Every structure is written in structure tokens, then in C-alpha cells.
Structure 1
């Protein structure tokens, strides 16, 4: 059994490393098709990390919380994603306000991704000091004492493929709408409608509460 702590350490490092590498990506003028290909790959890595992070941290916090307050702890944790999106939009809005359009397009958009260095260092520092949950330790003890071999986590895909597909499809609509809202909308507002970057990110900031809270993403106008 791998454990909640180890999984969350992996997802944190994967997310942090992917974000930093995005901030260091070469431009299309320098690397050609390799640049957007690497960007798409790193964004997939961010999504993979987020999937493990979003569910794993909920389990970790709720299992550590007092039994009578698990709902409260889980509810407080759920505010993390929209808060992160708000701070991301505030950062981009501030950069767009104080930088010229050329500077923002050339290097300004990289700043939020490179700030992932600080978040990664702080996150690793904190998570190295977190203990496994009592529930996991109990399951680990039972597994060691049981003569029945434990099933692997991916066994659910083989046993319940229909349920897994339904869950994926039920989430696809809201996730897709979110991606269109915070990614394509930036390009549409700046390129097609001619809005300034600061105004575009400000609009996204205002509309943030109505957006899908399951993802947090950095956006660029390119």
C-alpha cells in the first residue's frame, strides 16, 4: 500500500515541476512545433497531478479530522480551488496592468508558472511532516494480517468499466466548459474583440465564482 502521504508528495512534485517547466519553455520562434507539443504534454501532466491531488488531499484531511467535524474540514478544503483561481487571476491582472503588451507576451505570462518554485518548496516542506492517517494505518495493519491478497487500485476499471465511463462522461461537460471559459475566452477577448490583457483577466476574475472550481490553471493570451 503506497499511502496517502506518498501519493500527495508525488502529485505535488509533478504539478510543481510541470508548472516550472512551462515557465521555461522556448518560444515557437526558437523551437518550432516542439514548443506547443511540450506545452500540451506538460498541461496533461498538470491535469494528471491535479486529479490525484484533488481527491487525495480530501481523503487525507477528512481521515485526519475529528469524526464530528469531517464535513466542516472537507468544506473548508473545498474552498482551496476557487481561491487559487482567484489569486491566479489577480496575479495575471496585476502583471497585465503594469507590463506592456509586448513584455507580457514575451515573458510576463511566465511569472505565475515560475512562482511554482516557491509553492513547491513550501509544499514539500509541509508534506514531509504530515503523518499517514489513522484510517490508512488501520487498513495497512489489516492487510498485513490478512491472508487474502489485496486488489490493485486499477482493478475497478476491469470490474466496473461502465461505471467508470459514466463518471468520466458526467464530468466531461463541466470540465470542458471550464477549459473553454478560461483558455479560449482569453484568446477570443484579446485577439478577436481587442480587449486589453488587464481587462480580460479582470473579467475572468469577476466571473470566477461561476466557473467550474475543479481546476486551477494559468492562462496566457497566446
Structure 2
């Protein structure tokens, strides 16, 4: 029999592989997803909706962006069912392949000038496929870490799934910034925007290689060994923990809205309303994503010490104040330094919320339907949160002619985060790496 030292060494090695696999896989998946949002803000209006004025074309592009969010809960339900039935690892292999191939397809998609109305129709179909893939990605990556991490460091370690989102954002924004800087506007619109999408071929190869080396989580193995795998995890989830799904939506949606206003809507606002180079918004997004490589783990580490609830509440209150009184006044100065500062400070508050979400959401649900609960809660929040945020912001700007309505919209959503978090049970320190680790144990820290 293996010694205790060998057993501990094996567990440490498995945890490191899980972190690496989740970090790299999630980074590559979010690269694909963020790439679409950035391209929608910069170029898709001209490529796929050229018969409209530029702002309306961008609005239509953001609607196709929202389509991906609409598909994510469906992908979450499918992935959650199979993730709770056959294992986390197998589902994650499927999501990485689906996301990579669909993104490559966007790179070879004909423009409206070439294919007419068929081009935007194909764009919407591919966007739906992207949404299905991402719907099952996030929760699986988080669970691969959370279900084997030691309780005292679970928040910090699980936050690397959130770091993956920042890396994906950084890569997608960086490569589009590079392409737009090296090419003329005509060249970028004609073919330059396609290059980052075609690079997703790397996603499929690297993602599959890494995830094949990651083992299944101890929690799911225990469920199988004890014969406790649920036959209908999604139905069981809605029967046993429906309120926790609503809590996840309340905690997540406002943070999502803030993020997409700071990153996606800002690109359009800076270039089309303020008349500044689009590179300013891209630069702010890149610097923000770089900063969040640090602020996500820092926020999660603080939650390991002080709890998930207080860190989230502090972040939400700070974000509400920032969006109400400081963000747009700084951006409207047209000062590059102040625009970047407005984004960076906003993202610090966002990090306090989002950095904690991975571990808190996973800890809220029972082991038997944890993949389903984490996936559905997270992705349903995306529909009422980030999916419509850029579209609503543009519409409010067109209707009122001022950003004040946008700040009220953001502040109201963030206030809901603070209130929901304040009334959601604390889960720091609960057991997760065994089949019997049900949500009732969360009452330890209420």
C-alpha cells in the first residue's frame, strides 16, 4: 500500500494538474468568447450589417453577442446533467473542442458583401454553438479545483478559474489591438479581424492535451463508489435548492453588468460617442485584465480568511458608488490617463465580487447536483447580466442622450448584488471532497 507521504504527494500533483488544466482551458475558452464581444464592438457592424449606420450596426452586432448568452443556460443544463452523471472531466473535453471549432468557423465566415443575409444568419448560429460550449465550461473548471482543494485555501485556488477569464480577455484584446495597430482600417475590416479567430486552432490542440492529463475529482469518484450519482441531477437541483439558484443570479448579474459596461460598451462609447481612437478602450481593457490576474486571487484569498459574504458586499457597495459618481465623469474628460484610471478602479471593485464567485457558487450546492447548480446559476445570471448590458447601455444613450441613465442602471444592479450577498449563507470551510458533503453543512458559518 502507498505511504501517507506518497498519497499526499499524489494529491498535490493532482491538484496542480487540475489548476493548470482549469486555468489554461478556461483561458482559451474565454479567449474565444471575449474575442467575439470585442470584434462586435469594433468591426462586426461593418462586416455583417453594412446597410445600417455605424451605431445601429454595432447595436445589431451586440444583439448577436447576446445570443451566445441565451444559449449558455441550455449548455449549462446539458453539461450539468452529464457532469453530474458521467463526470466533470469528460464534459470539459467536449466543451473545449466545441468552442474551439466554432470560433475557427467565425474566422472563415463570409461577409455580408459576399453572402448577403446568409452571413449574419450563420454568425448567429455559430454564436449559439459558442454559448452552448461556454455554458458547461466555467462550472466544470471550477469544480475540478474546488472539489479537491484544501478548505483553508479553496477560495484562493479556485479563483484561478476566474484568472482564466482575465487571461482570455487579455489575449483576445491584445491580439485585436495588435492587428488594428499594424493594419489600416480597410485591411482590418477586410481580413485582419479574422486572424485571431483562426488562431483558435491552438485552443483545440492545447486544451485537449492538458485536459486528458487531469484526473476526475475525488467528490465524483466518491459518488460513484457509494452509488449516489443522481439519475436526474437538474430536476433534483430544482426540487432541493431552487432558492440557491436565485441567490447565485443575484450575486452574479450585477457584477456581470458592470464588467461588460467597463470592457465592451466602453469600446463603443470611447470611439463613437467621444470620437477618440478605439485603441484607448482596448488599452484600458488590457491593463484591467492584467491587473485582475492579481486582484482576483487576492480577493479570493481574503475570502478564505474573512468569508465569502463580506468581501462580496464590500465590492458591491464600492462598485455602486464608483459607477454612480465617478466612472463616466472621468471617461468624459477624454483624458487617456483618466479613462484608464476609471476602468482600473472599477475593475478593482469588480474583482472583489467576481474573484469570490467561483468558490462561493460551488460551495452552495450539494455534491450530487453541484455541476448542474453551479452551471445553471452562473449562466442564467449571464442572461440578465452581461448579455444585454452593452445593448441596454447603447439604447439608453440613444434615448436619453446622456450616460446618467446608464449609471442608474448599473448602480441598481450592483445594489442587488450587495443585498443578495448579505442574505446568502456563508460557506467558508464546508466539506466538498466527499459524496456526503451536502449543502446543509454550510450552516456552520451562517
Q: TM-score category by the smaller chain?
A: 0.7 to 0.9
1:35 counterpart SS class: helix
TM-score, length of structure 2 as denominator length: 0.42
Instruction: Give the superposition deviation at 1:45.
Output: 2.9
For 1:22, the equivalent position in structure 2 comes to: 106
Q: Which piece of structure 1 moves more, 28-37 or 93-102? A: 28-37
Q: Is the contact between residue 96 and residue 197 of structure 1 (CA under 8 Å) also seen in structure 2?
A: no
Q: Is the contact between residue 138 and residue 161 of structure 2 (CA under 8 Å) also seen in structure 1?
A: no
Specify whether residues 22 and 169 from structure 1 end up closer, same or farther in structure 2 by C-alpha distance, changes over 3 A only: farther
Higher relative contact order structure (alpha carbons within 8 Å, sequence separation ≥ 6): 1
1:44 counterpart SS class: helix
Pair 1:190 & 2:274 matched: no
Instruction: Give the superposition deviation at 1:3.
Output: 0.4
Q: Which piece of structure 1 moves more, 194-203 or 123-132? A: 194-203
Q: Could you say what the CA RMSD is over the residues aligned between the two structures, in angstroms?
A: 2.8
Instruction: Give the superposition deviation at 1:125.
Output: 1.0
Distance 1:59 1:132 in 2: 10
Distance 1:45 1:59 in 2: 23
For 1:51, the equivalent position in structure 2 comes to: 135
Specify whether residues 40 and 82 from structure 1 end up closer, same or farther in structure 2 by C-alpha distance, changes over 3 A only: same
For 1:12, the equivalent position in structure 2 comes to: 96
Structure 2 unaligned runs (5+)? 1-84, 293-345, 355-381, 383-446
Matches within 5 A, 1:60-79: 60-66=144-150, 69-79=153-163
Aligned equivalent of 1:150, options 205, 230, 234? 230
Q: Is the contact between residue 93 and residue 199 of structure 1 (CA under 8 Å) also seen in structure 2?
A: no
TM-score, length of structure 1 as denominator length: 0.79
Distance 1:98 1:82 in 2: 24
For 2:198, the equivalent position in structure 1 comes to: 114
Specify whether residues 174 and 75 from structure 1 end up closer, same or farther in structure 2 by C-alpha distance, changes over 3 A only: closer
Larger radius of gyration: 2
1:25 counterpart SS class: coil
Aligned pair count? 211
Specify whether residues 41 and 92 from structure 1 end up closer, same or farther in structure 2 by C-alpha distance, changes over 3 A only: same
Q: Is the contact between residue 267 and residue 281 of structure 2 (CA under 8 Å) also seen in structure 1?
A: yes
Structure with greater helix share of residues? 2
Specify whether residues 79 and 150 from structure 1 end up closer, same or farther in structure 2 by C-alpha distance, changes over 3 A only: closer
Q: Is the contact between residue 101 and residue 197 of structure 1 (CA under 8 Å) also seen in structure 2?
A: no
Specify whether residues 188 and 139 from structure 1 end up closer, same or farther in structure 2 by C-alpha distance, changes over 3 A only: same
For 1:80, the equivalent position in structure 2 comes to: 164
